[in-house]
Amino acid sequence: MRLFPLRPSDPPVVRFVTLAPLGLALVAGLGLAFFAEAGPLALIAGLATFAIGAGVAAWRLHRRHPHARLGYANAITLLRLALVSTLVIPLVGASPAPIPIMIIATISLSLDGVDGWLARRQGLASDVGGSFDMEVDSVFALVLAALAAVVGGAPWFVLLLGLPRYLFWVAGAIWPWLYDPLPPRYSGKVVCVVQLIVLIALQSPWVPTPVAVVLIIGTLAALGWSFGRDIVWLWRRRR
């Protein structure tokens, strides 16, 4: 007998919610295995991060998912959310564990793009799935940046590497035209991957401070170019 029985007629959101306990179990298992010294409150913070993220994603799927099937893509993104939520545990507990942090982060990064490929292959691509993936990436970058500063000993301005998406969102609340659709740009995806690779590398205590400074400044410049180009494109389109 299956632990979570599903019928073919179940709506996508029901299938999604049924997978959520597996994500909670993964966060708890990884947390206890690698970050037990962070303490129970840190574990609760990781579980709460996953629960909130999965809850918001389920609400959006219920309202906006255009397909009759959930597909594998959203399940992969939910898995990535669980891995990112696990990284909240050493952050809240200020628990140095660079090797487990880098391994979990690398697995999450390796899965990035798999969900999009699966969605296109299954014919189940959607705006809500793309938004879910983007928000997980944004939280991923923010958590890694905070880990690098709080636990990894990187310079404080590494936090700026986790903020571009949220600064863009705040600016959009002031200038709504920034929320207009953007054309897909391969270069923007490359910059995002470079940003995450640098943030993973900065978890290592063996990266000298001068090298860390160069990596941070170079990545900030790339992000500034990518976001700046998008802002200019949106502004010109508005005119």
**Tens of pLDDT along the chain (239 residues)?**
344 444 545 688 888 999 999 999 999 999 999 999 999 999 999 999 999 999 999 999 888 878 878 878 899 999 999 999 999 999 999 888 999 999 999 999 999 888 878 878 888 788 888 889 989 999 999 999 999 999 988 999 999 999 988 998 899 889 888 888 888 788 888 999 999 999 999 999 899 999 999 999 999 999 999 999 999 998 888 76
d(C-alpha 182, C-alpha 144), whole Å: 26
Q: Which of 138, 171, 170, 141 is nearest to 158 (CA)?
A: 141
Burial (CB count within 10 angstroms: exposed 0-12, middle 13-18, buried 19+), residue 161: buried
* Residue-wise pLDDT tens digits, 107-120: 999 998 888 788 78
Q: Which residue has the tokens 């709504």?
A: 176
d(C-alpha 153, C-alpha 159), whole Å: 12
* Residue-wise pLDDT tens digits, 45-82: 999 999 999 999 999 988 887 887 887 889 999 999 99
- DSSP letter at 177? G
Task: Give the pLDDT score at 202.
Answer: 96
Is 41 a domain residue?
yes
Task: Give the pLDDT score at 1.
Answer: 38
Is 6 a domain residue?
no
**Residues 91 and 150 sit within 8 Å (Cβ to Cβ):** yes
Q: Which of 50, 42, 144 is nearest to 98 (CA)?
A: 144
Is 2 a domain residue?
no
The pair of structure tokens assigned to 75 is 């399940």
- DSSP letter at 67? S
Is 3 a domain residue?
no
Domain span at residue 143 reads 12-238
The pair of structure tokens assigned to 199 is 């943030």
Q: Which of 107, 91, 108, 89 is nearest to 33 (CA)?
A: 89
Is 56 a domain residue?
yes
Q: What is the CATH number of the domain that holds 37?
A: 1.20.120
Task: Give the pLDDT score at 2.
Answer: 45
**Residues 196 and 107 sit within 8 Å (Cβ to Cβ):** no
Helices (H), the chain: 12-34, 40-64, 71-92, 98-111, 114-122, 127-150, 164-174, 186-201, 209-238
Task: Give the pLDDT score at 36.
Answer: 94
Is 202 a domain residue?
yes
CA distances from 7 to 2, 14, 15, 88, 202 (A): 12, 10, 9, 34, 45
Q: Model pTM?
A: 0.91
For the chain, the domain total comes to 1
Is 4 a domain residue?
no
Is 131 a domain residue?
yes
